[in-house]
Amino acid sequence: MDSGLLALGFLSLAAGIFFAANDPPNGYELSVYTETSIRFWVGVSVAFMVALFVTFTAGQLWQRSTALLLAGASTVAIAGLPLVRGYRFYGSNDSLTHLGWARDVLSGTTEPETLFYPALHLLTVVSHRLTGLSPERSMMLAVLLLTTIFLVFVPLSVRALTDSYDAVAIAVFSAAFMLPITNLSTHIHAHSFTQATMFTGLLLFVFFVYVARSPSSALSITPIDLLLAVVSFALVMYHPQQAANVLLLFLTVSVVQFVVSRTPFGIAEPIRSQRRFYVPTLVFGAIFFLWTSRYELFFSATEYVTTTFLQFLLGSPGPIGESVQSQGASLSALGAGLHEIVFKLLFPSLVLSLIAATLMLAALTGRLDGRLGNRNAVVLYLTLGFVPITGIFVVYFVGSISEQYFRHWGFMMLLVSVLAPIALYRLLDGLSGRFSTPTLRAATVGLLIVLLPLALLTVFPSPYVYMPSQHVTDTQMEGYDTAFTYHNQSLDLVGVRGGPYRYSDGIQGVAAAEEEYLRGVTSENMSRLPETEGAPRYLAFSQFDVEREVGAYQGLRYSQSDFSAVRSQPGVHRVSSNGDVELYYVSSSDADSQESADGDGSEPAA
């Protein structure tokens, strides 16, 4: 029966992917969820249900392992939907700039070492040259590969810290929650910090193997030492800010080992027999400093964070959580609130964090299962490592350093993704004397069935969380390319909110970016364009802008009438339109100036 269910699960997943792949987008899609064929979601749902049932009921190990493979494949299918659906690109802000950097590296315009974090761009170039895919789809493939690394190495990390198949099984599904992705400062699209967070799953696994399984007497360089150094270097290349988080964790480990070796702490007895982590920490720190000290950005960011931290210590941190307050006001204007968005985005994270907290408390009080020996020490390391990371999160939040605090939250959720399955397994093991095994497994499946959809519903931004999809269409790229190529170069080209410079980055490359594309038009000026400062000039906007403002943001800043007013006011001429991107020439309010710019007084020269 279980074999038949597995066959059904894989067939359902394959059918869902087939239907999604044969349903390409017809234009900009505001939500990946609602625009993807319902048959895909049915197929993935059946696959997940089969995976859950077989994982926790099958009697044979190969069947349960195959079920976990099915669960992982289903998660990858969801994460890879932009690729499966045939999107031109996915990621409309930072992602387009990353795409531009990849184009520059590919063309030889920019040397990789001049970039602060070149790894994602190099992986895109390698993907492009190996597969022949376009740079856009190569970058999307690179993002999916790094997401898969997270999905694989979270369960492997749990395996390195336990001897329990059930804990690993829970870890496969907790990894499917993709807790580090919040759509606040971490994203499923090309975003170097997020990809660095996903890649950190591999580094943590190597760290766990080094500390928990390497012989304590090893003095020579072993393959695991070399692997740890290589992966550490790679993480710095993906994003130094995430590398700083891990370096802080490694420093905590080294400090704990040093202190415990000289003091009689009973709860940390397993640490005494472990291999010291001093040398890997020094190597990682040297790599980090040698790379980051080459860039002015490192020193300016360090100065800013240090200043904020000192203000926090002196009791004058400034507006606390300013960006959260601002977003809360915006959500209130939409008839929602922070409580709703916190529930939608963070509820699964908070539940698993509470579960992980029980394990941390047990580690601090010395109540972990003694049979696991030095692997208990690793749990203690992660527990103590939460202290400085949480401190940074608080300082960033109190100092209102943009939304950077949610970057650190993403790293904390990576640690929770490892700790929560271990905690849940131990909790269930502790209840095994009171309840039967089928009852406990049914409760576990029930918890996962409730939390998994809630988590996967927020992997992609959508109106469900008051955000637009990051879908970039063929017509957007082509329309902006036409606008950049044929508009009068002596006049500004502006956009809605910010200027269209992101598209300039993605299409022309960052090295060729023009400062004129940095400016935007406010909603108040949309109906009086010829009278505003800067005319004559050009205005470009796409269906993405309209759907974002009217659909996702419900007209909070720009209404449908604002966009309609552009087409109807005197002195504004439509130069081009491909059904997605519209380019307008805005004359000045002076009629003579309009005549000279238009040539014949009716149509502007492109």
The domain boundary, picked from 406, 430, 454, lies at 430
pLDDT tens, 95-133? Answer: 999 999 999 999 999 999 999 999 999 999 999 999 999
In a domain, 44, yes or no: no
Specify the number of domains making up the chain.
2
Cα separation, 287 vs 247, in Å, equals: 10
Domain shared by 309 and 393, yes or no? yes
**Strand, helix or coil for residue 537:** strand
Same domain, 415 and 477: no
* Rounded Cα distance, 563 and 545, in Å: 9
Structural domain boundaries, residue 502 = 473-598
Report the C-alpha gap between 130 and 388 in whole angstroms.
41
Question: Is the Cα torsion angle 467, 40, 127, 133 positive or negative in sign?
Answer: negative
Last residue of a domain, one of 395, 430, 465: 430
DSSP state letter for 59: S
In this prediction, residue 590 carries a pLDDT of 58
Q: Classify residue 512 by its DSSP letter.
A: G
479 and 421 within one domain: no
pLDDT of 240 over the 90 cut: yes
3-class secondary structure for 451-505?
HHHHHHCCCCCCHHHCCCCCEECHHHHHHHHHHHHHCCCCCCEEEECCCCHHHHH
Same-domain pairing of 482 and 401 = no
Q: Are 604 and 575 contacting, i.e. CB atoms less than 8 angstroms apart?
A: yes
Coil/strand/helix, residue 29: coil
**Type of residue found at 575:** V
**Same domain membership, residue 316 and residue 229:** yes
Identify which of 174, 555, 540, 602 has the alpha carbon closest to the alpha carbon of residue 348.
174
Is residue 342's pLDDT more than 50?
yes
Please indicate, yes or no, if residue 459 is contained in any of the structural domains. no
Alpha-carbon distance of 366 to 214, in angstroms, equals: 23
Nearest alpha-carbon partner for 467 in 587, 294, 327, 284: 327
**Residues 6 or more apart in contact with residue 584 via CB below 8 angstroms:** 529, 538, 539, 540, 566, 572, 573, 574, 575
State pTM to two decimals: 0.92
How much is the pLDDT for 265?
60
Judged on CB neighbours under 10 Å (0-12, 13-18, 19+), 303 is: exposed
Residue 419 shares a structural domain with residue 480: no
Q: Is residue 3 part of a domain?
A: no
Of 489, 507, 491, whose CA–CA distance to 581 is shortest?
A: 507
Residue 14 within a domain: no
- Does 62 reside within a domain? no
Does a structural domain hold residue 486? yes
For residues 207 and 293, state if they share a domain: yes
What is the average pLDDT across 482-509? 91
Across the chain, how many H-helices and E-strands are there?
24, 7
- pLDDT at residue 455 above 70? yes
Same domain, 243 and 313: yes
- Worst-scoring range by mean pLDDT, 188-197, 206-215, 417-426, 453-462? 206-215
Same domain, 92 and 169: yes
Phi, psi of 164 (to 5 degrees): -105, 125
Q: How many CA atoms lie within 13 A of 535 on its CB side?
A: 24
Residues 426 and 480 in one domain: no
Of the candidates 403, 430, 457, which is a domain's last residue? 430
pLDDT recorded at residue 594: 42
Q: How many CA atoms lie within 13 A of 42 on its CB side?
A: 6
- 390 lies in the same domain as 478: no
Ramachandran region, residue 555 (left: φ > 0; alpha: ψ -120 to 50; beta: rest): left
* Overall average pLDDT of the 283-290 stretch: 96
Task: Write the DSSP assignment of 351-405 as a string of letters.
Answer: HHHHHHHHHHHHHHTT-S-GGGTHHHHHHHHHHHHHHHHHHHHHHHHHTT-TTTH
Q: What is the pLDDT of residue 142?
A: 98
Q: Which helix (H) or strand (E) holds 585?
A: strand 582-586
Residue 5 lies in a domain: no
Tokens, residue 158:
């749990």
Asked if residue 2 is part of any domain, the answer here is: no
Output phi, psi for 489, to 5 deg. Answer: -65, -15
Q: How confident is the model at residue 13 (pLDDT cuts 50, 70, 90)?
A: very high
Per-residue confidence band for 328, with pLDDT thresholds at 50, 70 and 90:
low
- 157 and 271 together in one domain: yes
